[in-house]
Structure formats: structure tokens, C-alpha cells
Amino acid sequence: MDGIKIEIRDLVDIDSLSKEYDISKNELISFHNRNCALHELLPERLPKYINSIYIPKEKYKKWKEKQLPVSRIDVPEASEMLKYGVLITQQSQELNIDYLIDIQRFGDRKVSIFRQKLQVNNNEVDLMVEKIMETAGKALYPIHMSLNKKGKPDRIENAEDIQTRWNEIYRPRIQQYYVGETAEGLITTYDYFYENIENGVGSLQRNVFYPIFFIPLYDSYPDYQKEERLNFYFPSFGEMVYYDTVFSLQRTFSDSGRIVIQVKGDQCYDEISLDEDKGKIELDYQLDKESRNVFSVTGTLSTFYDNQEIKIYIEIYRQEAYL
């Protein structure tokens, strides 16, 4: 069997190499000793670290196929219709929100989004507040957005259409069926939201789906990492929480052939506080190898409020029917 000699720059032990190249430790040592020069023979009792080793060519070829060609992920360019299942769990409120969402991608970094009916705690909405929020939320869809080069929303393209739907269809519908202080308070809240939606994409920040799904994944990753400061809205206490994060691009494709990016970090504060507990962000992204579209997102956001930890769990999966 033909072999390839690889140089090892970092301190890597034989067990790690065996796992990385999918070959047993004994087979790896035996192959190396059959192909190397006399002075390169590995002794019976191996040193913990080695400088070079011979690998079977077929094993090396399979390893090479799993390596990312460059440490950069470009925003998807092809037009494609995608459907995702979304589950957001707010631990402190014992609240599960799930829905399906359709995302139409266009080649010029534009997307069109339509959310289907949502469920609360695995049931259709039935409480008055939930019904008003569900009805008011329908005015937002479809929403057309342009994205920047990192994949973040840059501009809402159909803000006027959204405002028209709210003012002429959904606001009158809510007023027709719901009366009272609670209903009026919610209508006022949505009036403000839709009046300001033309001012920018920041209005979408309070829906955790948007900053999670459209996180700035598409970028260069020097040494397969980059740093970003991110912020997310926690509805349980109505404030933004900021995190200093590290995006880590996995150097190899996953076993299922997908690009893997991990986002981890700690909550940051404007003022130094040694006593405050820090929340964390831990998100795992998988992207399709060819299209670079998001395949799945899983993870948590956490913070502390009134000495209690508050967590938001996120699960987003592309639906198989669209694969």
C-alpha cells in the first residue's frame, strides 16, 4: 500500500493521529515502520509525541476529503426555498413556542420569510393574549429582507406593505374581536412596532429567531476563529443581554458532510462587576457543504436576573421534505 509522509507541526500524540486518520494504533505504527527510513523507525515503546509519520494513501485521501478547503464561509448565492422547524423554550416561564418557517433565498443576498401558525406548549394558542399576539404577528409576513456580506439582515424591503397589512387588516380584526385594557395595551405595543419597522432591522431583534438564525456566520476565520459581540433580547425581564463570543469553524466536515461552527462566549457588562454571575452563550451551527445554507442550530442563551439563572433553549432544523 502506498504511503504519504506527513509532517507534524504541533504536539500530537499517536492516539490522536490514529483517531484522526481512522486507522488503529497498531496498524498505523506497523505501516509507518514498513515505509520509513531506518532512523525513522518507531521503537516498541513509543515516544508520546512524534515529528512525522507515514500514512496509507487511501486513509490520507479520505482525511483530505473531510478538510475544509479554506477558512472562510461565503454567504449562499443560489436561489432556494427552505423550510425549518423552530422550537424556542424559555425555561423560567416554562414556555415552549414552536412553528414552521419558510425562507426563500435569492441570489442577490435577499430573502423572503413566511411564518406558519405557531403553537404554545404544544397546543394552538387559546388564551386571549396569545391569540392577539398571534394575529398581530401575521402582519409581519411575508417579510422581504436584504442581507449584508456576513448574512445579517441589512434592510427590510417591504416595510410599507407590512404597515399596510397591520393598519388595514390585522389591527381592525383585533379591535373587532377583543376589547379592554389588555387588548388596547397590546395594540398600542404593536402600533409602535409597525410604525417603526421602516427605521431598520433592529425592530426584529426582540424575536430571538432572527438574531440566532441570521447570526454573522459568513466571514473569514483567521486560524479558524473570529470574535464578535452579540446581543439578544430576554422577554422574561425585557432587556438586551450582551455577549463577547468566539466563533470556531471546525477544520473538518462533520460525519454527515456538513460545515460545523460553534459559537461560545460569556455575558459582558458595561461596568466591571466581580460579584455578578455571568450568563453564557453556546450555539452549534451546521451548514450544508455545497449551498452553505443553515441546516440546523441548537444551543442555549443564559443570563442572571434577580439572582436567578434564566435560559433560552433554541432548536432549529431544516425539514427533511425540503432536502
pLDDT tens digit sequence for 287-313: 999 999 999 999 999 999 888 999 999
Can you tell me which residue has the cell 531506518? 38
Q: Which of 1-10, 92-101, 243-252, 257-266 has the lowest mean pLDDT?
A: 1-10
Question: CA-CA-CA-CA torsion for 204, 206, 208, 209, nearest 10 degrees?
Answer: -20
Q: Nearest CA to 58 among 23, 85, 82?
A: 23
Confidence band for 44, pLDDT divided at 50, 70 and 90: low
Q: Nearest CA to 309 among 267, 271, 278?
A: 278
Rounded Cα gap, residues 290 and 20, in angstroms? 23
Residue count of the chain: 323
The reported pLDDT for the residue numbered 322 is 43
